Amino acid sequence: MIVEPGPLLAAIDSPDDLKKLAPEQLVQLSTELRDFIIDSVSIYGGHFGASLGVVELTVALHYVFNTPHDQLIWDVGHQAYGHKILTGRRENFPTNRRYKGMSGFPKRSESPYDAFGVGHSSTSIGAALGMAVASDYKGEFDRQHIAVIGDGAMTAGMSFEAMNQAGVLNNNMIVVLNDNCMSIDPNVGALKEYLTDITTSRTYNKVRDELWNVLGKLSKFGPNPQQIARKVEAAMKATLMKQSNLFEALKFRYFGPVDGHDVQHLVTILNDLKSIPGPKLLHCVTVKGKGYALAEKDQTLWHAPGLFDKITGEIYKKVPTAPQPPKYQDVFGHTLVELAEANDKIMGVTPAMPSGSSLNIMMAAMPTRAFDVGIAEQHAVTFSAGLATQGLIPFCNIYSSFMQRGYDQVVHDVALQNLHVVFCLDRAGFAGADGPTHHGCYDLAFMRCIPNIVVSAPMNEQELRNLMYTATLPENAGPFSIRYPRGEGVMPEWRTPLQRVAIGTGRVVREGEAGGVAILSIGHIGNYAVKATDALAAEGFSVGHYDMRFCKPLDEEMLRDVAHRYRAIVTVEDGCLPGGFGSAVLEFLADHGFQLPVVRLGIPDRVVEHGTQDELYKECGFDAAGIAQAVRELGAKVTADSLATVLR
Ligand SMILES: Cc1ncc(C[n+]2csc(CCOP(=O)(O)OP(=O)(O)O)c2C)c(N)n1
Ligand SMILES: CC(=O)[C@@H](O)[C@H](O)COP(=O)(O)O
Ligand SMILES: [Mg+2]
Taking the centre of ligand 2 as the mean of its atom positions, its distance from the CA of residue 310, in whole angstroms, is 21
% of the chain at pLDDT higher than 70 = 93
Task: For residue 61, report the distance from its CA to the centre of ligand 1, in Å.
Answer: 21
Q: Give yes or no for residue 356 CB within 6 A of ligand 2.
A: yes
The answer, yes or no, to whether any atom of ligand 2 lies below 6 A from the CB of 352, is no
Q: Considering every ligand atom, which ligand is closest to the CA of 299?
A: 1
pLDDT in tens, 183-203: 999 999 999 999 998 887 656
283 annotated as a binding-site residue: no
Our answer on whether the CB atom of 434 is closer than 6 Å to any ligand 2 atom is: yes
Band (pLDDT 50/70/90 cuts) for residue 339 is very high
Q: Cβ contacts of residue 35 below 8 Å, gap of 6+?
A: 6
CA 87 to chain centre: 24
Q: Distance from the CA of 106 to the center of ligand 1, in angstroms?
A: 14
CATH class of 328-351+379-483: alpha beta
Residues with CB under 6 A from ligand 1: 50, 53, 76, 78-79, 120-121, 150-153, 178, 180, 182-184, 288, 352, 375, 377, 402, 405
Is 405 labeled as catalytic in the residue annotation? yes
Confirm whether residue 322 is marked as ligand binding: no
**Across 263-279, average pLDDT:** 95
Angle at 573 between CA 571 and CA 577, to 5 degrees: 85
In tens, the pLDDT along 17-44 reads 999 999 999 999 999 999 999 999 999 9
Instruction: Work out the percent of the chain whose per-residue pLDDT is above 90.
Output: 88
369, 362 Cβ separation under 8 angstroms: yes
Judge whether residue 546 has pLDDT over 80: yes
Q: How far is the CA of 233 from the centre of ligand 1 (A)?
A: 33
202, burial (CB in 10 Å: exposed 0-12, middle 13-18, buried 19+): exposed
Whether pLDDT at 241 is above 50 = no
Mean pLDDT throughout 487-494?
A: 96
Catalytic site includes residue 463: no
Annotation says 288 is catalytic = yes
* 121 annotated binding-site participant: yes
Strand ranges of the sheet holding 507-510, from the earlier edge strand across to the other edge = 507-510, 543-547, 517-521, 568-576, 598-603
Is 83 known to sit in a ligand binding site? no
CATH of 7-303, one of 3.40.50.620, 3.40.50.880, 3.40.50.970, 3.40.1080.10: 3.40.50.970
The amino acid sitting at 196 is T
Across 62-77, average pLDDT: 98
pLDDT tens sequence across 354-370: 999 999 999 999 999 99
ipTM for this prediction: 0.99
Question: Which of 97, 434, 484 is the best mutation target for the ligand 2 pocket, counting ligand atoms within 8 Å of the beta carbon and taking the most?
Answer: 434
Q: How far, in whole angstroms, is CA 351 from its chain's centroid?
A: 11
Q: Write down the mean pLDDT value for the chain.
A: 94
Distance 304 CA to ligand 2 centre (A): 8
pLDDT of 227 > 70? The answer is no
Q: What is the 3-state secondary structure (H, E, C) of 219-241?
A: HCCCCCHHHHHHHHHHHHHHHHC
Q: Residue 2: its pLDDT value, please? A: 83
pLDDT reported for residue 644: 73
Residue 76 CB–ligand 2 contact under 6 Å:
yes
Which residues neighbour 643 within 8 Å (Cβ) at sequence distance 6 or greater? Answer: none
Indicate the CATH number of 507-647 among 3.40.50.920, 3.10.450.50, 3.30.465.10, 3.40.50.1370. 3.40.50.920
- Which residue among 288, 369, 465, 510 is the active-site one? 288
Q: What is the mean pLDDT of residues 550-568?
A: 98
Q: What average pLDDT score do residues 61-84 get?
A: 98
Inter-residue contact 315 to 307 (CB < 8 Å): yes
Domains 7-303 and 507-647 share a fold: yes
Residue 280 Cβ < 6 Å to ligand 2: no
Does residue 238 carry a pLDDT above 70? no
Domain ranges of the chain: 7-303, 328-351+379-483, 507-647
Q: Which of 98, 107, 405, 486 is catalytic?
A: 405
